[in-house]
Amino acid sequence: MINRDLVIVGGGSAGMSAALEAYSLGVKDILILEKNDYLGGILNQCIHNGFGLQEFKEELTGPEFMTRFSKAVNEKGIEYRLNTNVINISKDKVVSYSNSEEGFVEIKAKAIILTTGCYERNSGAIQIPGDRPSGVYTAGQAQLYLNIYGQLVGKRVFILGSGDIGLIMARRMTLEGAKVLGVAELNSYSAGLNRNIVQCLQDFDIPLYLSHTVKEIVGPKGHIEKIVLAKVDDHFNFIPGSEIEFEVDALLLSVGLVPNVDLISRLGIPFSKTRGAVVTEHMETEIEGLFTSGNVLHVHDLVDYVVSEAREAAKGAYLYLNNKLSHKGHMYKVSPKDGVNYVVPQKIYIDDAEDKLIFKFRVAHPFKDINLVISEGDRVIKKIYKPAIIPSEMEIVKLDKSLFNKENENIFVYVEERK
Amino acid sequence: MKELICITCPRGCHLKVDDDLNVTGNFCPRGAMYAKAELTHPVRTLTSTVKINSKVADRLPVKSARPLPKELIFKAMEEINKVTMNAPISIGDVVIKNIFDTGIDIVATKDILK
């Protein structure tokens, strides 16, 4: 069996930035395993701009953003394998993969960073009543066909779900000559960024139907012909008489992303509400030396955040490889409370932690005029006033670790109404 | 008084602009620039793809090197869809020079080397 210091599974933006960070810290024996025949992952098909404002202080398209990383990976001579399918990761960190050049290979890794991204919820996941015709795509599939292969999947399109990819595709398909009849969102608020509502929908007079969903798909002859849209009440029940019919030849689904944790789902490690693994301050799972970051840990709004989180994992892997992660001493359990949906990380070994503790979290539903509170037990450590906050915008709070005095084992993150 | 949502970055600031184009609610100076432009001559960066003769790719992603006047977006798409490029292409290579005499080029956003 081959031995390696660090194996990174997934060569997208998280995997490449983890590799580059580990390399710059002094880890030289690195191998990236990538299933596609190119690095960069999903950014290859995200041809729109808006990437990199945090990372590079300039606005880049997805391919431009990822090329900066892939060039650096090549310049530093970091090894990677393309067209490579990782089959298994074992508890003792044996990574099994196959590709057409090497066949079946097993590597004993000292440390692993899992950066396998996320996948789209599809029509099976939301179980729309009606026929099961062709012409129903996830927004990312339609994006792949259009931006990589130059194929428009429909001329009269409806989009279910207001996730950012759906909004981006509403604009993209309109520019290519399709008529986008509308975007429907089950919730009373959009799942996408405000800027995308403006520049992808309002710019093109595409209506956004909040509190609406598709009640029926009609396509008895094998291809989609019609959808029936209906309004829902506060409990998501259809409101009778609210139905609107749209003749369509394609329905796009932008109804959520799910961390792609297949490779670690059978290791017996705990998972959190994000559907990613429970991790420490260094993005380390319960298996020491197995790290995970990016969208496989929790789905991010911005690739810039994915990149910085991958660097945290890389720092963890570097420390682990140099026996500098003690996994000992005072351990905080980090938990969401009132109004907060999840917090990453879920555990903090305060003695191992960097000088700044980084908390990433989302609220459970929109709030106005509230404080976000981070407390150690009952002791409030930080209050942040927010005039408005929505679940689709992830909050990142960095706090000096000296603010925490190890008197309690719990850190809470919650929403506090202002009186 | 007009209310706008800034599209410059994902923060999406809620901007207020008065009749004299004074902007409030912006987190950074780019927000004020956006609001003024939006109320006088709105512009958008256009991204799309063009055909490419290549061994590895069917489409080459492109963008307007700077934001285009909004009213030219669909006309620019027509021009973009007429173009076929040949590999090798590097990021920044000009695909359409000075589109509609705006002084703005349509440029490649991906390296396609063969």
Strand order of the sheet with strand A244-247?
A212-218, A226-231, A244-247
Query: Residues B103, B75: one domain?
Result: yes
Q: Average pLDDT, whole number, for chain A?
A: 95
Owner of token pair 């969401």 = A336
CA B60 – CA B53 distance, rounded (Å): 9
Concatenate the DSSP letters of all residues of A336-348 into one string: E-TTEEEEE-SEE
Nearest residue of B to residue A44, measured between CA atoms: B110
Evaluate if pTM is beyond 0.80: yes
Query: Residues B68, B17: one domain?
Result: no
Interface check for B111 against chain A (CB to CB < 8 A): the answer is yes
A226: closest CA among A253, A248, A209, A252?
A: A248
CA A51 – CA A304 distance, rounded (Å): 7
Domains A1-120+257-325 and A122-255 share a fold: yes
- The 10s digit of each residue's pLDDT in A320-354 is 999 999 999 999 999 999 999 999 999 999 999 99
Specify the pLDDT at position A218. Answer: 95
- The 10s digit of each residue's pLDDT in A32-63 is 999 999 999 999 999 999 899 889 988 899 99
CA A346 – CA A279 distance, rounded (Å): 6
CA A304 – CA A302 distance, rounded (Å): 5
Query: Residues B24, B59: one domain?
Result: no
Query: Residues B57, B101: one domain?
Result: yes
**A195–B9 C-beta distance less than 8 A:** yes
Task: Spell out the CATH class of A1-120+257-325.
Answer: alpha beta
Q: Which CATH architecture has domain A122-255?
A: 3-Layer(bba) Sandwich (3.50)
Do residues A185 and A191 make contact, with C-beta atoms less than 8 angstroms apart? yes
The answer to whether residue A316 scores a pLDDT higher than 80 is yes
**Residue B29, domain member (yes or no):** yes
Peptide bond into A207 cis (omega under 30): no
Cα-Cα end-to-end distance for chain A? 63
Can you read off the two tokens belonging to residue A411? 């850190």
Interface check for B7 against chain A (CB to CB < 8 A): the answer is yes
Residue A51 Cα, gap to closest chain B Cα (Å): 9
A113: closest CA among A316, A259, A254?
A: A316
**A148–B9 C-beta distance less than 8 A:** no
Residue A58 Cα, gap to closest chain B Cα (Å): 10
Residue A149 Cα, gap to closest chain B Cα (Å): 6
* Per-domain boundaries in chain A: 1-120+257-325, 122-255, 329-419
The answer to whether residue A125 scores a pLDDT higher than 80 is no
A280: closest CA among A348, A339, A178?
A: A348
The answer to whether residue A419 scores a pLDDT higher than 80 is no
Residues 6+ apart with CB under 8 A from B35: B4, B6, B15, B17, B21, B23, B26
User: Which one-letter amino acid corresponds to residue A397?
Assistant: V
The boundaries of the domain holding residue B28 are: 2-40
All residues of chain B having their beta carbon less than 8 Å from the beta carbon of residue A193 are 10, 12
Phi, psi of A22 (to 5 degrees): -60, -40
Query: Residues B24, B73: one domain?
Result: no
CA A310 – CA A19 distance, rounded (Å): 9
Query: Residues B32, B70: one domain?
Result: no
| Position with higher pLDDT, B6 vs A40 | A40
Q: How confident is the model at residue B30 (pLDDT cuts 50, 70, 90)?
A: confident
From the options 3.40.50, 1.20.59, 2.60.40, 2.40.128, give the CATH code of A329-419. Answer: 2.60.40
The answer to whether residue A398 scores a pLDDT higher than 90 is yes
A276: closest CA among A297, A260, A256?
A: A297
**A59–B61 C-beta distance less than 8 A:** no
User: Which one-letter amino acid corresponds to residue A47?
Assistant: I
Query: Residues B64, B103: one domain?
Result: yes
Residue B20 Cα, gap to closest chain A Cα (Å): 23
Q: Give the SS3 label for residue A373.
A: strand
Q: What total of structural domains would you count in chain B?
A: 2
Query: Residues B9, B27: one domain?
Result: yes
Query: Residues B53, B98: one domain?
Result: yes
All residues of chain A having their beta carbon less than 8 Å from the beta carbon of residue B59 are 147-150
The predicted model gives A268-282 an average pLDDT of 96
**Residue B113, domain member (yes or no):** no
